[in-house]
Chain A
Amino acid sequence: MRATCWYGKKDVRVEQVPDPHILNQRDAIIRVTSTAICGSDLHLYNGLMPTMEQGDILGHEFMGEVVEVGREVQNVKVGDRVVTAFPIACGHCFFCQQALFSLCENSNPNAWMAEKLLGHAPCGIFGYSHMLGGFAGGQAEYARVPFADVGTLKIPEGLSDEQVLFLSDIFPTGYMGAEMCDIKPGDTIAVWGCGPVGQFAIASAYLLGAERVIGIDRFPERLRMARARGGAETINYEEADVYDTLQELTAGRGPDACIDAVGMEAHAPGLLSAYDRVKQAMMLETDRAYALRQAIMACRNGGTVSVVGVYGGFIDKFPFGSVMNRSLTIKTGQAHVQRYMRPLLERIQKGEIDPSFVITHRMQLDDAPQGYEMFLHKEDDCIKIVLKP
């Protein structure tokens, strides 16, 4: 089959590789019908994620038709059309039973690697480094889905791929970002990053009852989408000071909750950005936490900072005094996708949201390398790319 393989920094190739087959009896093999490039794939593309190996198949947002199942898979059968959850989760361990699926204790065969860097290991993730399991990803013609009885959702008739594909990651991720804000009527929520996850965080904040949502980014097309599709107010951080603007918009109190949908590769104007870039390049810090620092400083006293942007290791100049002295709550995590897939599918079925609004580009799988390059540089107002194998 053809698959998108990682070969190093800014080196991604579509190559012929062997077809996947059942390795565990709870596996399913699916023929991928749609897959997407995630913003977090760009961390891999930029070579910032440790423990990648040349030839690793990328991609953790995918869906398709089941073509084979292992002996122990009871609730999924050949021919089903399914979306897969990006965290691989067994469904039986302590964490899965609490619906903390991205903390599954049994799905990462390389847990020891992650323990070295993170203290404890999170779950395995498709196509996202060997530290997170060394699982082949889904930007390919076929994919193997371990624990398919837990990690797939059957899609009913009448919904297109593009309407449901993002149940695999970015819709639940954005939704969890908003849910962690514990939104009360009248709340103002600020969202750093108006990429696809930020767009879903904005939409979800309104779904969960927020009064006002403010999106922060620098790309005009993303800010336009946040206003037009999300109904948010927006701040372009290259044109206005974010802290001052948020103070003004909230009459000096600050947003009730702040969502960081940016993560480890934040951009910022001016010297601070240069400082972080130099430190990151010298491996003195792994993550540029500009958005997170700003979100903490801007959040109102006693408010919540919800982090769904991906961080990989260590950050510098973390304003913990602001967190402690002002009683802030920080909530974070890789999305527990399996917890959200069904309820969010129901919202799609009811017409409360159509997630396909974030798609700006549709390409063939073979064009994945150009897709990565285009997404990295936000060429042609690129916000979200869907690949068709």
Chain B
Amino acid sequence: MRMQQTRQRAGPGRAQHTLGRTFTQPRARQHVQRGSGEKHGQAVWLARALGWFGIGLGLAEVAVPRGIATLVGVRGDHSLLIRLLGMREIASGIGILTQRTPTEGGWARVGGDALDLACLGAAFLAPRARQDRVAAATAAVLGVTLLDVLCARQLSRRAVRVQQRILINRSPAELYQFWHDFQNLPRFMYHLDSVQTTGQGRSHWVARAPAGTTVEWDAVITTDHPNSLIAWRSLESADVEHTGSVRFEPAPGGRGTAVTVEMTYRPPGGAIGRGLAKLFGEAPEQQMQDDLRRFKQVMETGEVIRSEGSPQGMGVMAQRPAQPLAGRNGQ
């Protein structure tokens, strides 16, 4: 199966790397770089700065815990606790600096801030504390916490862009017709729960998010060239910023059709957004490759092939033993 893939995350200064592409890029690509791409780049920069700050502070806490204790107004010997807090700072700093997109590291820092604030709160109430110094330290940590939260939230809103190609042993017209009815998409795109077409090129999409939740948005077809290209995008009012395009080109030598799909998701903020980002963010190329493989199966054989180990015909999820499922409808 021949496929080429590219994966990019929006953001200035990040070179667009492409693998094995020798043709002009679909026009839809031009639409998706707008929006909060610049903010994402700033957030990455800020996260790295916070990462270095954390490592510096952590090293100080580990090296001179008594000095730090005096600085923040804590009396008594808390060297062990301060050293542990320092090691935590260093660990999340390293985490940020080693991640390409340091979303988890950013949220880890927020968690660490909460821990620091809890310790300072305990210190403030301790009998021999220098309360003025503890208060100043708390204010400083609160400031850093604010920055950490802003940074992690912005990182969570990163766009995920995927492109995949596949050869299918059907004509461009047959493939175009099937795809053009967007209600068919959930048959092979397993992150979609349903797509309802509502007329005039509009459609309502429902995607699965973790923990049984769903995310919904409305989309509209923006380009429609029969038998060759369909492009769509979410409406301005939608929570999820989504664009997609699919191109059907006859393969050389009458060997079916080369299908190129490109999709971008920029999820909303908040918990659902984070869940959605995780859903698409862990292996988006693999997900789309599996989606297109199922599209090919449906078009070439009539349905998605199921095995006992992968009863949903799904590639990425954990395997069950290759023995029949109990019950006739046990899939």
Is chain A's interface secondary structure helix, strand, loop, or mixed overall?
A: loop
A371 within 8 A of B: no
Q: Is A349 an interface residue (CB 8 A)?
A: no
B237 in the interface (beta carbon within 8 A): no
Whether A56 lies near B309 (C-beta < 8 A) is yes
Query: In whole angstroms, how far apart are the Cα atoms of A97 and B170 in the complex?
Result: 13
Q: Which stretch (A21-29, A179-187, A213-221, A268-276) binds chain B?
A: A21-29
From known contacts A23-B306, A26-B301, A124-B307, infer whether A110 and B319 are also in contact, taking CB-CB under 8 Å.
Answer: yes
Are A97 and B319 neighbours in the complex by a CB distance under 8 Å? no
Tell me if B331 and A25 are in contact (CB < 8 A): no
Whether A120 contacts B1 by the Cβ 8 Å rule is yes
Q: Is A127 an interface residue (CB 8 A)?
A: yes
Task: Check A93 for interface membership: any CB of B closer than 8 A.
Answer: yes
Q: Which residues of A contact B255 (CB under 8 A)?
A: 94
Return chain B residues, CB-CB under 8 Å to A56. Answer: 309, 321-323
Contact for B306 among A18, A55, A109, A113, CB less than 8 A: A109
Given A18-B326, A134-B319: A112 touches B301 (CB 8 Å cut-off): no
Total contacting residues, chain B, CB less than 8 A:
39
For B300, give its contact among A93, A109, A133 (CB under 8 Å): A93
Chain A contacts of B296 at CB under 8 A? 93, 105-106
Interface residues of A in 91-110 (CB under 8 A from B): 92-94, 97, 105-110
In the bound complex, residues from chain B placing their C-beta under 8 Å from that of A3 are 323
Does B323 contact A112, Cβ atoms closer than 8 Å? Answer: no
CA distance A113 to B290 in the complex (A): 11
Given the complex of chains A and B, what is the CA–CA distance between A147 and B325 in angstroms?
A: 19
* Residues B306-320 near A (CB distance < 8 A): 306-311, 313-316, 319-320
Contacts of B313 in A (CB 8 A): 109
Q: Are A146 and B167 in contact (CB under 8 A)?
A: no
- Report whether A57 and B322 are in contact in the complex, using a CB–CB cutoff of 8 Å: yes
B302 contacts A72, C-beta separation under 8 Å: yes
Contact B319 A53 (CB under 8 A): yes
With both beta carbons as reference points, the residue of chain B lying nearest to A51 in the complex is identified as B319
CA distance A146 to B306 in the complex (A): 9
Chain A residue nearest to B314 (CB atoms) is A109
Complex interface residues of chain B between 218 and 260 (CB less than 8 A to chain A): 255-256
> Can you show 25 pairs from A to B with CB atoms below 8 A apart?
A5-B323, A17-B324, A18-B323, A18-B325, A23-B306, A23-B307, A23-B311, A24-B306, A53-B321, A55-B322, A56-B309, A56-B323, A90-B301, A94-B256, A106-B300, A107-B305, A109-B315, A111-B1, A130-B309, A130-B310, A130-B319, A133-B307, A133-B310, A134-B320, A146-B306
List 4 tightest A-B contacts by C-beta distance, closest first. Answer: A134-B309, A55-B321, A109-B310, A20-B324
Binding site for B on A (CB under 8 A): 3, 5, 17-21, 23-26, 51, 53-57, 72, 90, 92-94, 97, 105-113, 120-121, 124, 127, 130, 133-137, 144, 146-147
